């Protein structure tokens, strides 16, 4: 990959949907609730049903994950979800197709969440164009560091999609600035080093990480994820950031419901409703 940060164009406003999400949440004195699902787990149809359940519960944004065979940033819950989705026949084409269905059935802002490899196989420019046509608002390549964004970020932006980059507690000030410069929509703050997965408490250094991220991001909204899986944790994160991202906990309750022979959408909706309520800054969660 070519290091091309110096020549990357400044972020341009594309789809208004993500911007509207954060503006609305701020006006309502809450953090935006950003949910994650692995597309195709347990099926593509069930993913659409869970997306509808998330909107009913109060979610603002859905990160729709492209299942990948080597998900190095994911903990065991999301690894199992990717394995099930791939075994069920989920493909990038299928993810884009259900993204279109979710767009037609909900008003959720949609972010295509993927490792770089599946998008490279499909051709970054082609995938970005098709994602925009399907109704996605942004894209996040979880293993693409800003130093290696090269021509890929401009290609995604040229399709009319927002680009989201990640920073973490170990990111230097220079890397945070680079990630923020390449981001539009929001800047994703990883709450802790390591893989995804719900934890019982937020790390003690998260407020300091958020302060550093805000300094780098300026007016760009910041959302925090990794390790947030309970209403108390979501409530704490909501008082620090503009958005709260929950993935593993939602996938885990869907997995448990499926094992019981119950529909996963109801289980996802129940947890999501409590998380959405916790994102309100006057919440007692």
Q: Which CATH number goes with the domain that contains 96?
A: 3.20.20.70
Q: How many other β-carbons are positioned within 10 Å of the β-carbon of residue 263? A: 16
**Three-class secondary structure assignment of 45-84:** HHHHHHHHHHHHHCCCEEEEECCCCCCCCCCHHHHHHHHH
41 in catalytic set:
no
Nearest to 26 by CA among 179, 284, 268, 223: 223
In whole angstroms, give the CA distance from residue 82 to residue 42.
9
* Contact between 249 and 229 (Cβ < 8 Å): yes
pLDDT for residue 11 is more than 50: no
Q: Residue 147, exposed/middle/buried by CB under 10 A (0-12, 13-18, 19+)? A: middle
In whole angstroms, give the CA distance from residue 141 to residue 163.
9
Please report the pLDDT score of residue 9 as a whole number. Answer: 42
Query: Which is the catalytic residue, given 74, 162, 242, 277?
Result: 74
Q: pLDDT tens across 174-195, in order? A: 999 999 999 999 999 998 755 4
Q: Does residue 261 belong to any structural domain of this protein? A: yes
Q: Does residue 33 belong to any structural domain of this protein? A: yes
In whole angstroms, give the CA distance from residue 26 to residue 241.
11
Q: How confident is the model at residue 74 (pLDDT cuts 50, 70, 90)?
A: confident
Number of structural domains, the chain? 1
Q: Residue 139, exposed/middle/buried by CB under 10 A (0-12, 13-18, 19+)? A: buried
- Tell me how far the alpha carbon of residue 200 is from its chain's centroid: 20
Nearest to 31 by CA among 220, 244, 231, 285: 244
pLDDT for residue 264 is more than 60: yes
| pTM reported for the whole predicted model | 0.91
Q: pLDDT tens across 36-59, in order? A: 999 999 999 999 999 999 999 999
Domain that holds residue 228: 22-278
Task: List the structure tokens of 68.
Answer: 């990948």
242 in catalytic set:
no
In whole angstroms, give the CA distance from residue 258 to residue 26.
35
Task: List the structure tokens of 274.
Answer: 């409590």
Q: Does residue 65 belong to any structural domain of this protein? A: yes
Query: Which is the catalytic residue, given 63, 137, 255, 277?
Result: 63
Q: Does residue 5 belong to any structural domain of this protein? A: no
């Amino acid at each position: 990959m070519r290091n091309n940060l110096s020549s990357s164009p400044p972020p341009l406003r594309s789809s208004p949907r993500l911007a509207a999400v954060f503006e609305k949440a701020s006006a309502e004195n809450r953090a935006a609730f950003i949910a994650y699902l692995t597309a195709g787990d347990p099926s593509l149809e069930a993913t659409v049903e869970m997306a509808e359940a998330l909107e009913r519960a109060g979610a603002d944004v859905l990160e729709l994950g492209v299942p990948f065979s080597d998900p190095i940033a994911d903990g065991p819950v999301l690894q199992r979800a990717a394995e099930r989705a791939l075994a069920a026949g989920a493909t990038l084409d299928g993810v884009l197709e259900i993204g279109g269905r979710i767009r037609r059935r909900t008003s959720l802002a949609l972010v295509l969440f993927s490792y770089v490899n599946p998008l490279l196989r499909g051709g970054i420019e082609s995938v970005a164009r098709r994602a925009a046509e399907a109704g996605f608002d942004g894209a996040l390549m979880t293993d693409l560091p800003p130093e290696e964004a090269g021509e890929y970020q401009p290609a995604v932006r040229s399709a009319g999609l927002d680009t989201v980059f990640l920073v973490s507690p170990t990111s230097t000030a220079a890397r945070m600035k680079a990630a923020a410069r390449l981001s539009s929509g929001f800047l994703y703050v990883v709450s802790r080093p390591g893989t995804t997965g719900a934890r019982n408490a937020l790390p003690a250094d998260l407020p300091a990480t958020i302060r550093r991220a805000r300094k780098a991001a300026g007016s760009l909204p910041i959302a925090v994820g990794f390790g947030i899986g309970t209403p108390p944790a979501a409530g704490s994160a909501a008082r620090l950031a503009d958005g709260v991202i929950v993935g593993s906990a939602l996938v885990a309750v869907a997995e448990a419901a499926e094992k019981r022979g119950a529909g996963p959408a109801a289980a996802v909706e129940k947890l999501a409703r409590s998380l959405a309520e916790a994102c309100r800054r006057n919440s007692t969660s």
